[in-house]
């Protein structure tokens, strides 16, 4: 039941982001420094949590990866739809898949954290 719920959340985020981008045709460009900082911070927090094992830090990391996935999904969708020079379909597909995978895994971790122990 939790896997289906996480899949539903991922699908809803994908439909919402794609619908918004197709409807508005806005071009979104995430600053590379912001994305790099988010990535490095999440990796550092993940390594730190290997040694500390704090449940709260695990939850914060899962939420951060979900937010990072949404930002990457918006960026990839905007790039595929709005860039007239875009001729790399494999790169676009991989970016979309990676973003959706991160959103799904993050939603799954958060749902297991908050709803997994209850019967």
Q: Tens digit of pLDDT for each residue in 26-77?
A: 887 777 788 889 889 999 999 999 999 898 999 999 999 999 999 888 888 8
Among candidate residues 76, 66, 82, the one with its CA nearest the CA of residue 96: 76
pLDDT digits (tens, 9 = 90+) for 70-114: 988 888 888 888 777 777 778 888 888 999 999 999 999 999 988
Is residue 119 scored above 50 in pLDDT? no
Answer yes or no: is pLDDT of 10 > 90. Answer: yes
Q: How far is CA 49 from CA 42, 53, 56, 112, 116, in A?
A: 10, 5, 10, 18, 21
Better-predicted residue by pLDDT, 84 or 118: 84
Which DSSP string corresponds to 50-73?
HHH--HHHHHHHHHHHHHHHHHHH
Straight-line distance from the first to the last Cα atom of the chain, in angstroms, rounded to the nearest whole number: 11
E strands within 1-119?
none
Q: Is the overall model pTM greater than 0.95, yes or no?
A: no
Q: Which structural domain, as residue segments, surrounds residue 39? A: 2-115
Count of the separate structural domains present in the chain: 1
CA–CA separation, 84 vs 100, rounded Å? Answer: 24
């Amino acid at each position: 039941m939790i896997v289906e719920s996480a899949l539903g959340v991922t699908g809803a985020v994908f439909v919402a982001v794609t619908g918004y981008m197709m409807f508005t045709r806005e071009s979104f460009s995430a600053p590379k420094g912001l994305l790099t900082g988010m990535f490095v911070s999440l990796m550092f927090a993940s390594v730190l949590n290997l040694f500390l094992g704090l449940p709260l830090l695990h939850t914060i990391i899962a939420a951060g990866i979900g937010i990072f996935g949404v930002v990457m999904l918006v960026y990839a969708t905007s790039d595929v739809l709005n860039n007239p020079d875009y001729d790399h379909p494999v790169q676009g597909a991989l970016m979309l898949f990676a973003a959706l995978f991160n959103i799904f895994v993050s939603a799954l971790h958060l749902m297991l954290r908050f709803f997994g122990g209850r019967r």
